[in-house]
Amino acid sequence: MKRDRVIVVDWSSSSIPKRGKDSIWLGIADHSGVTAENIPTRQQAAARLSELIRAALAASERVLVGVDFALGYPAGFAHALTGQAPESEPEDPFAVWNWLAQRITDTDTNQHNLRNVAAEANALFPGDGPFWGNGAAADMPGLPRTRPDLPDGLHPARQTDALATGAGARPKSVWQLAGAGAVGAQTLVGLPVLHRLRQELATDLAVWPFQPADAPVVLAEVYPSMLSAEVKAYVAANPGVVVDDAQVRLLAQALFGLAVNDALTPLFDAADFRAEGQILGAGHQTALRRALPATQDPPRLRDDCFAMPQGVDWVPVDTALSTLRAALHPVTGSQLLPTAQAAGRILSQDCIAQRANPPRPNSAVDGFGFAHAATGTGPQRLPLVDARAAAGQPYDQPVPFGQAIRILTGAILPQGVDTVVLEEDTANDGAAVVFDGPVKPGANTRKAGEDVDAGATALPAGHRLRAPDLALLSALGIAEVPVNRPLRVGVVSTGDEIIASPDQPALPHQIWDANRPMLLSLAETWGYVPVDLGHVQDDADQIAQRLDDGAARADVILTSGGASAGDEDHVSALLRTRGTLSNWRIALKPGRPLALAMWQGAPVFGLPGNPVAALVCTLIFARPALSLMAGAGWQAPQGFWVPAAFAKRKKPGRQEYLRARLTSDGTAEVFQSEGSGRISGLSWADGLVELPDTALDVQPGTMVRYLPYASFGLV
């Protein structure tokens, strides 16, 4: 049972659009880690689910989708509801899905008629039930508020419910539509959505346990409370995180953990194909728990972390940087990854060599090996043993003192050999090898552990793994590495004049969004998960909604546009009134205003809209900050001093960054215009020249600090 991605859905029967606790959450786990999305309406959630699945199918991925409501009802219900003759065939769970899909209405603002439909179902049964419970103020004829006696033959629970316990919790009866933990209402508004998903995906989808779990997309019922102890611990460690968020993350992570280790199959083994359905993982709680990674995300940043001391007006760049550095801490937890898949990831713990490299003394060259003590100065003649030692083909006999053995590069030194003479320095007649002494003791050999000792720290926590590191880790027998979950960087553009993409037409007063593709690409280049939050108009509510979305889907949000303090600066206005804004007036050109704020636990970098300023602010401020939050520590760019190829008179007060590149004779030339609207200069340049905030009269030949794009990880 191979799965590339696990999506766990925490459903909701809310009758209004809702976020946060008791609303809809998706937990998505795959090789890049786990993310959670909070979605306010069922229609949007259905669309998102279908979008995720279609993207996965397009990439030939196999997906497991778990939903936290019942896929089937206790035995007997399907027959009675849909009018199938009880004796005829096995009950068809999909007939119930279809029955509900025909009757349930559910608007784009979550207005549903589930109570009417429950009453309609009740009318098909003698007595008051089976459905009961009404959380609404208005009475619903045919739907009792308290538990009625069940019609003859209908059970209160399914067999699977008894198995699906977790820290004392056990699924409630599917008949119960209201009250804490009741799953009945969610089931009624959930099954119609799944019915349509089935129609959309046809044979790409298998619904387990009604169908064998062998389609590209497998849908199953889950019960996140099975991990309630772990969820509790997670919430305690992450103040502000709602339970639903923790539940979908942890369950998706646990199921994906099993998938990665090829350990999912047993969960599907005891499939019971009756229409009651089955909770995936019931009876396998321990396996699920074990599949969870050791550590969860550390606490989020404090809401006041960006506060600038009172009375501060203009902040020099260096002060801003050190204040920012002090405000932040790593925000992503750790997971284990196979070493071969860990390139680009950041180690969350030191990596310890499992054995020495090399593990045993071996030969560094092709030649002849012998005991040094048996040789001296002048011509040496050593009889050859009739054997050979090669890499992967060790010679396991002792080589007698005074004799030599043919030995090849990488071969373990046989017993009795401590020195090797290079083949090119010898002659041999097949019976003996001849060379000139003296030879240095231990010549042409590698000592055990001369590269890395067993138990030594091979790479430290915080190190970002590059291709050569995978070589080292593999050489040391490190099969799995603890790495930080990749930082998710949300990017949103604001502005009434902005058109989201150049594939759409723009009127003369409109401009295409230049910042978002740039920032998303930077995030990806830096090894983070780019989260495209799209473009929004200059409208407080729209921006707020998008930030909500961003806080649910990303660890940090980059906005561009509207960050100043003017009439049209909607981002900073919103962050000031509804978030915790700290407007940093940084003595920087280009750039100046950087709006830093916390929004629902996520730090927001409000970048200027101007692409030149947006890039400079991102490289100078966001890059080291993201690196710190991702667990790789603060990153300062490496600059070097070169003679200027330009002249410029500069006033004191602001630190300046000029678009620059190196000439063939190693001087720095700058772009012809400092105009901050000149986007072409960003592409013309290969780096930035940094001028200090003092007054300066730069002449050709004056030494200036050059920061290549590459030193910002910009490739």
User: What residues line the site for ligand AMP (CB under 6 A)?
Assistant: 493, 495, 497-498, 511, 513-516, 560-564, 608-611
| 608 binds Mg ion per the rule CB under 5 A | no
* Residue 123 phi, psi dihedral angles, 5° rounding: -65, -20
E-only strand ranges, 62-124: 63-67
Let me know the angle formed at the C-alpha of 407 by 402 and 410, rounded to the nearest 5 degrees.
135
By a kind-dependent CB cut-off of 5 to 8 A, residue 33 interacts, out of Mg ion, ligand AMP, none, with: none
Q: How far apart are CA 161 and CA 156, in angstroms?
A: 10
- Interface positions, 656-695, toward Mg ion (CB under 5 A): none
**Distance between CA 177 and CA 181 in Å, rounded?**
10
Burial of 22 (0-12, 13-18, 19+ CB in 10 A): middle
Least Å from the CB of residue 463 to ligand AMP: 34
Residue 419 binds which one of ligand AMP, Mg ion, none, with CB within 5 to 8 A depending on kind? none
Collapse the DSSP code of 211 into the 3-class scheme (helix H, G, I; strand E, B; otherwise coil) and give the result.
Answer: coil
Under the criterion CB under 5 A, does residue 606 sit at the interface with Mg ion? no
């030995």: which residue's tokens?
407
Q: How far is the CB of 638 from ligand AMP (least distance, A)?
A: 29
CA distances from 11 to 65, 97, 183 (A): 12, 16, 9
The residue (of 246 and 614) whose beta carbon lies closer to ligand AMP is 614
Residue 161 contact partner, candidates ligand AMP, Mg ion, none, CB within 5 to 8 A by sort of partner: none
Q: Which does 608 bind (CB under 5 to 8 A by kind): ligand AMP, Mg ion, none?
A: ligand AMP
Give me the helix-helix angle, 93-103 and 114-122, nearest 10°.
130
- Output the CA–CA distances (angstroms, integers) from residue 285 to 181, 563, 619, in the order listed: 19, 49, 46
Say whether residue 562 binds Mg ion (CB under 5 A). yes
Q: Tell the smallest beta-carbon distance from residue 540 to ligand AMP (Å).
A: 14
Q: Which residue's CB comes closest to ligand AMP?
A: 609
Q: Which does 493 bind (CB under 5 to 8 A by kind): Mg ion, ligand AMP, none?
A: ligand AMP
* 593 counts as binding Mg ion under rule CB under 5 A: no
Binder of residue 257, out of ligand AMP, Mg ion, none (CB less than 5 to 8 A by kind): none
Q: What number of chain residues touch Mg ion (CB under 5 A)?
A: 4
Instruction: State the binding partner of 514 from ligand AMP, Mg ion, none, CB within 5 to 8 A by kind.
Output: ligand AMP
Q: Is 708:686 a contact under the CB 8 Å cutoff?
A: yes
User: Measured between alpha carbons, how far is 119 from 140 in angstroms, rounded to an integer?
Assistant: 7
As measured in angstroms, the least distance from the Cβ of 623 to Mg ion is 23
Helix, strand, coil distribution of the chain in percent, nearest 5:
30, 25, 45
Candidates 96-104, 255-263, 389-397, 561-569; binding stretch for Mg ion (CB under 5 A)? 561-569
Q: Which is nearer to ligand AMP, 242 or 491 (CB)?
A: 491
- Residue 374 contact among Mg ion, ligand AMP, none, beta carbon within 5 to 8 Å by kind: none
Q: Which does 228 bind (CB under 5 to 8 A by kind): ligand AMP, Mg ion, none?
A: none
> Segment near Mg ion (CB under 5 A), from 6-14, 113-121, 149-157, 603-611?
603-611
- Out of 216, 330, 358, 495, the only residue in the binding site for Mg ion (CB under 5 A) is 495
H helical segments located in 202-282: 228-237, 243-260, 265-269
Q: Tell me whether residue 328 or residue 498 sits nearer to Mg ion (CB atom).
A: 498
User: Nearest approach, Cβ of 560 to Mg ion (angstroms)?
Assistant: 9
- SS3 of residue 290 by DSSP: helix
**Count of other CB atoms within 10 angstroms of residue 699:** 11
CA distance linking residue 199 with residue 75, whole number of Å? 25
Task: Tell me how far apart the alpha carbons of residues 64 and 8 are, in angstroms, rounded to a whole number.
Answer: 8
Structure-derived torsion over alpha carbons of residues 150, 75, 8, 547, reported in degrees to the nearest 10:
-40
Of 206 and 531, which CB lies nearer to ligand AMP in the complex structure? 531
Q: Which part of the chain contacts Mg ion (CB under 5 A), choosing from 139-147, 323-331, 554-562, 598-606?
A: 554-562
User: In whole angstroms, how close is the CB of 579 to ligand AMP at the nearest point?
Assistant: 18
List residues near Mg ion by CB under 5 A: 495, 561-562, 609
